[in-house]
Amino acid sequence: MLAMYTRILKAPDHSFFLFGPRGTGKTTWLKTVFKGAKWFDLLRSEQLLKLLRNPEQLRFEVESLGEGSWIVIDEIQKLPQLLNEIHSLIADYGNTYNFALSGSSARKLKRLDANLLAGRVFNRKFFPLTGEELGYDFATDDLLRYGTLPKVCAEPRHRIDILDAYVMNYLREEIQQEALVQNLASFSRFLEVAAVMNGMAVNTSNIARDAGVARPTVQRYFDTLVDTLIGVWLPAWRPRAKVKEVSHPKFYFFDTGVVRATQNRLRDPLEAAERGSLLETLVLHELRAQINRANCGGEIFYWGTPSCSEIDFIWVRGGNAIGIEVKAVSKWKTEYGSALNQLSVEGRLERCFAVYLGDVRLKDHAIHVLPLKEFMRDLARGKIF
C-alpha cells in the first residue's frame, strides 16, 4: 500500500493556477481538496479531443453548475484555447465559478501567447515533498540520493526504477518535444552535462562545447527546463557596486533524485564531491516551497566574488536580505561562515544562517548554525524569513 502524505499548501478561495513539475502530486492534491468539483482531465484523450473540437463546450458545462462551484482543469497547457473561455466566464459571472487550473509546463502557453488571465487568477506552485510533509522522518542520505518525489518516497523498493522511468519517459522524450528537438541524442547529452553542472555557475558556451551542440540551442534547452519547471535559475546578487562580484547565474534541478538519475548515478553510493551540490539543491527546494506556501514573496540569489568567496543563498525582499550558507559537513568550522560574517559586519545582511549535517545548534558570530532538520523546522515555522 502506498504511503500517503498530507500536503501543506492551503487552497486559495479564488480561481488559481497551480504549476509544478510532473510527478509532484498536483492531481492527487486537487482531488483531495476539491472532491465535489467538476473535473476536466486533459491527459484523457476523449476529453481533450471533445474540447479541442469545440472549446465552447466548457462554457455549456460550467453554466449548468450552481453558484460557488469549483471547476478543475488538469494540465491546462494541453489546450490553451480554454483560457479564453475561462476569461469570458469570469468576465460574465465574476466569482460565481471558481477555477483550479493545473499544469506542468508554461512553455506552450508562452509560445502561443496564451491568455494568462492576469489579475483574475492567482498563482500557486507545487513542489516535491518537504521535510515538514515527511514529518522530518527521513535519512538525509536517502533524500540526497533519491530526492522527494511522492511516489519515490512512497515506494522505496522501486525508487530507482521510478526515477529511471521519470528521466527516460519524461525528461528525454516529452520534454524534448517541448524543446522542438530533432536530435534526441544531442538533448540527452545536454541533460547529462546540465545535471553534472547542477548548482554551478553556468557558462553556456562551455556547456555547448561539452555537449556538442550550438550555444543558442543550449540556451533554448535551458529555457525549456525552466518552462517545464524541471530547473530554476539562481541569479547572482550584486550589492557592492565598488567590488567585483560574479554575474553568471547558477542552475539547479528541482529534485536531487532527478539530478542523480539524469547523471546515471542512482545505483552508485554518494560521493563526497556530489554531496555539497545535492544538499544545496535540497535546501533550495525547501526555501522555494516555503516562499510559495507562506506567500511571503521575495527572491532568492547567490553571492560570490572571483576570489571564490561565496554565499549559497540570499533571500531578498525590499531592503531586507538574509544569507544562508550550506555545508555538507558534520563539523562546523569558522572559515565556512567568513563570507556571511563579512557581509553581516558591512550591514548588508539582516540575519545569517548556516545549514550543516551535524546534530547540534551553534552560534558563530552573527551566524545561526543549524542541523538540516532543525533548519527545516524553523523555516516551516516562519523563523528564518
> Does the structure show a pLDDT above 70 at 321?
yes
Looking at residues 158-186, what average pLDDT do you find? 79
pLDDT band at 176 (very low <50, low <70, confident <90, very high): low
> What confidence category does residue 182 fall into, taking pLDDT thresholds of 50, 70 and 90?
low
Q: Is residue 14 scored above 60 in pLDDT?
A: yes
Task: Reduce the DSSP state of residue 251 to 3 states and report it.
Answer: strand
For range 188-206, the mean pLDDT: 89
> Does residue 179 surpass a pLDDT of 60?
no
Q: What share of the chain is helix, strand, coil (3-state, %, to 5)?
A: 45, 20, 40
* Residue 243, pLDDT score: 59
- pLDDT tens digit sequence for 357-384: 999 999 999 999 999 999 999 999 999 9
Mean pLDDT value across residues 325-348: 96
- What superfamily in CATH does domain 16-125 come from? P-loop containing nucleotide triphosphate hydrolases (3.40.50.300)
Q: How far apart are CA 166 and CA 171, in angstroms?
A: 7
**1, pLDDT greater than 50:** no
According to the model, what pLDDT value does residue 110 have? 63
The number of beta carbons lying within 10 Å of the beta carbon of residue 129 is: 25
Confidence band for 240, pLDDT divided at 50, 70 and 90: low
Mean pLDDT of the chain: 90
Q: Are 240 and 347 in contact (CB under 8 A)?
A: no
Asked whether residue 161 carries a pLDDT value surpassing 80, the answer given is: yes
Domain ranges of the chain: 16-125, 140-380
Please report the pLDDT score of residue 238 as a whole number.
82
**E-assigned strands of 14-132?**
16-19, 38-41, 70-74, 98-103, 122-125
* Per-residue pLDDT tens digits for 73-101: 999 988 988 988 998 999 899 889 999 99
Confidence (pLDDT) at 112: 52
Separation of alpha carbons 35 and 32, rounded Å: 6
Q: Residue 314's beta-bridge partner residues?
A: 301, 323
Name the pLDDT band for 205 (thresholds 50, 70, 90). confident
Q: Which of 236, 246, 243, 237 is nearest to 321 (CA)?
A: 237
The C-alpha cell that represents 236 in the structure block: 547572482
- Interhelix angle 372-380/272-294, rounded to 10 degrees, is 10
CA distance 25 to 125: 11
Grid coordinates representing 277 are: 551540490
